[in-house]
C-alpha cells in the first residue's frame, strides 16, 4: 500500500511540474524584434490567474509611441475554466482611458490546460499621440482558472 501511495504522489508531483513548465513556457516574452526608427522598447505582463493583464508605456516628452508588434495569450489552468471570450485593446492613453487604436478578440474553451490561439501581429505601424502613454490590455480578467498575458513592442518617434 505504501508503495502505491508513493507512486501516486510521484506521478502527481511530476504532473504538476510538467504543467508549471508548460504554463511558464507559454508566458515567456517572445523573441520579436523591434524595427526601430527611434528608441525601441519591449514590455510584457503575465499576472496571476483571474487577473487582468495590462501594460503601459509611459508618455515620453516630445515623442509619439509607435506599436510595431502585439502578442496576446490566454490559457486555462489545471482546472477547467468557464469558456470565455475577451477583448484586447491597444489604447492611446493609460489603462481604461483614451482612444482605442486597435482591438482583437480572443477565446478559450472550457477545458483544463486549454490554450487559445495566440494573437501575434507584427509589422504594425500604429501611432499614438504626442506626449501620451500607450497601453495594451485585456478589458477585464477572463475568469477563474484563466491566465492572460500581453506583450507590446514598439519605438518612440520624435
Under CATH, what is the fold of the domain 2-157? Jelly Rolls (2.60.120)
The CA distance from 16 to 157, in Å, is: 45
**How distant is the alpha carbon of residue 112 from its chain centre?**
19
Which mean pLDDT values do the consecutive 10-residue runs of the chain (158 residues) have?
47 36 45 51 97 97 98 96 96 96 96 95 97 98 96 96
For the chain, which residues make up each domain, given as ranges? Answer: 2-157
C-alpha cell at 32: 520579436
Element (H, E) at 73: strand 64-76
Task: Look up the pTM and report it.
Answer: 0.77
Amino acid at each position: 500500500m505504501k508503495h502505491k501511495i508513493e507512486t501516486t504522489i510521484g506521478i502527481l508531483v511530476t504532473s504538476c511540474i510538467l504543467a508549471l513548465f508548460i504554463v511558464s513556457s507559454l508566458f515567456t516574452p517572445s523573441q520579436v524584434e523591434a524595427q526601430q526608427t527611434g528608441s525601441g522598447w519591449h514590455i510584457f505582463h503575465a499576472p496571476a490567474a483571474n487577473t487582468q493583464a495590462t501594460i503601459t508605456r509611459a508618455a515620453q516628452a516630445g515623442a509619439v509611441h509607435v506599436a510595431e508588434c502585439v502578442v496576446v495569450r490566454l490559457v486555462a489552468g489545471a482546472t477547467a475554466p468557464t469558456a470565455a471570450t475577451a477583448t484586447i485593446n491597444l489604447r492611446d492613453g493609460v489603462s481604461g482611458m483614451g482612444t482605442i487604436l486597435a482591438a482583437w478578440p480572443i477565446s478559450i474553451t472550457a477545458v483544463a490546460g486549454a490554450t487559445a490561439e495566440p494573437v501575434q501581429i507584427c509589422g504594425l505601424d500604429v501611432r499614438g499621440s504626442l506626449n501620451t502613454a500607450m497601453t495594451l490590455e485585456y478589458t477585464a480578467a477572463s475568469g477563474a482558472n484563466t491566465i492572460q498575458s500581453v506583450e507590446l513592442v514598439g519605438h518612440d518617434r520624435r
